[in-house]
Amino acid sequence: MFSLFYGLWKYLFSKTEFHVLILGIDKAGKTTLLEKLKSLYSNLEGLPPDRIVPTVGLNIGRVEVLNTKLVFWDLGGQPGLRSIWEKYYEEAHAVVFVIDAACPSRFEDSKSALEKVLRHEDLQGAPLLILANKQDLSEAVTAEELARYLDLKKLDERVYMFEAVSAFDGTGIKQGAEWLVEVMERSKRTEMLRNRAGVAGP
């Protein structure tokens, strides 16, 4: 009984916290993005790029965007670590998929990793933000060129957007984060996760 009331109280009064997974193949710039998000949206100074090492475990970043609490989960993208990603799918409200837009030789690897993410049933309906990262480099392709290259067939009725960003200088990151908040707030998946938390209690 207590847990039923607690669940209801939590549902009605606690501020929703959204979980956002940052995925992408190794060296795409996921951790650099996470540190930039911290610098842009919290009073914590994110790690400078030269102190960031390849991710093996999980990096967590809590920030507040448009008055909404976001928890970012940044995972390692090396081939041997990608099997860990799916452990986090069930609890995720949305996915940010980061691609190094200046490295066409790795687009195919990104495409197949992203297609696998999209096929997973634990991520059904999760809004998707695809970032064409490293726009500070002259060889980077635009978001439109990247979208054309990836030619994703599995988007179904998913809410998604491509955005050109630079995790180095911050270009495009606020637009992407604010879009995510807006779509997560009215997504069916958020409703589903909320209902599940309400029924299951604390």
- CB-nearer residue toward Mg ion: 55 or 190: 55
d(CA 38, CA 102): 24
- Catalytic one among 6, 8, 60, 78? 78
Q: Is 169 helix (H, G, I), strand (E, B) or coil?
A: coil
**Interaction mask 59-88, ligand GTP, x per CB under 6 A:** -----------------xxx----------
For residue 134, give the nearest of 104, 176, 173, 167 by alpha carbon: 167
Q: Is 96 helix (H, G, I), strand (E, B) or coil?
A: strand
Please state the length of the chain.
Answer: 202
Contact between 137 and 129 (Cβ < 8 Å):
no
Verify whether residue 124 is a known catalytic residue: no
HSE-CB for 56 with a 13 A CA cutoff = 1
- CB-nearer residue toward Mg ion: 30 or 38: 30
Q: Which of 19, 21, 46, 55 binds ligand GTP (CB under 6 A)?
A: 55
CB 109 to ligand GTP: min, Å: 12
CB 197 to Mg ion: min, Å: 29
Contacts with 144 (C-beta within 8 Å, 6 or more apart), sequence order: 162
- CB-nearer residue toward ligand GTP: 93 or 134: 134
Place of tokens 């911290």: 38
Place of tokens 């069916």: 188
From Mg ion, ligand GTP, none, interface partner of 28 (C-beta below 5 to 8 A by class) = ligand GTP
- CB-nearer residue toward ligand GTP: 77 or 190: 77
Q: Which residues are annotated as a binding site?
A: 24-31, 55, 77, 133-136
* Residues at the interface with ligand GTP (CB under 6 A): 24, 26-32, 49, 52, 54-55, 76-78, 133-134, 136-137, 166-168
